[in-house]
Amino acid sequence: MDESPPDRDVSVALVDYGLGNLRSATRGLERAGATVEITDDPEAFAAADGVVLPGVGAFREGMENAGPLREALTDHAEAGRPLFGICLGMQMLLTTSEEADHEGEGEVTGLDLISGTNVRFEVDRKVPHMGWNELEVEREHPLVKGVDGEYAYFVHSYYAEPDDADAVVATADYGVDFPAVVANEAGNVFGTQFHPEKSGETGLTILRNFVDYCAER
């Protein structure tokens, strides 16, 4: 595959709230043709063509760290601008998670940009789900163009359970079909449970699709 970046100028704000895999995500987005700014400045979100919310770790810690940025992220999404959550960042787009309850920490409220909760795998398999898994595209969305049947890299113990089945864009199977890609009704807020920056050519396709979507907006 040609790895030369597309001929366009797309700016992406990569949210720095202390839990993201920023270096790998930056490299992946740059390979996809974006100019990346790692930032926790809401004004940078407003100036960017798209915002990426990465994440590695626990839901409670993620929401606590990102708490000061909640309003800016919500305003960005509600303005119809692209917001892309990765792994924990995707889970943070939902309303709640069982993770805090499971850890005895009580309920934690997510960004609530996609109504639903995150639930723990209850399967006769090793948890966390770690490794490569096949993507099955369930409906059209610009993010998943060209990746049906391809493999992506996952590391997670919880998965999204949106209230609206139409929020599920793609699934994978790990003893249960779970959402691998979700999006809101307007289509501008979306996330991947897998790490595109660790998913080889499949991930690069996803990131290029994101850059294309930002460019077209």
By CB neighbour count within 10 A (0-12 exposed, 13-18 middle, 19+ buried), where does 23 fall?
exposed
With b for 16 or more beta-carbon neighbours within 10 A and e for fewer, the 184-204 pattern comes to: beeebbbbbbbbbbbbeebbb
The residue annotated as part of the active site, out of 76, 129, 195, 214, is 195
User: How many residues can be counted in the chain?
Assistant: 217
The residue annotated as part of the active site, out of 87, 99, 129, 156, is 87
Note the Cα 169 to chain centre separation in Å. 12
Distance CA 149, CA 128 (A): 22
Our answer to whether residue 195 is catalytic in this structure is yes
Cα-Cα-Cα-Cα dihedral of 65, 109, 176, 57, to 10°? 10
The residue annotated as part of the active site, out of 76, 150, 197, 214, is 197
Our answer to whether residue 64 is catalytic in this structure is no
Our answer to whether residue 197 is catalytic in this structure is yes
With b for 16 or more beta-carbon neighbours within 10 A and e for fewer, the 71-107 pattern comes to: ebbeebbeeebbbbbbbbbbbbbbbbbebbeeeeeee
Which active-site residues does the annotation give?
87, 195, 197
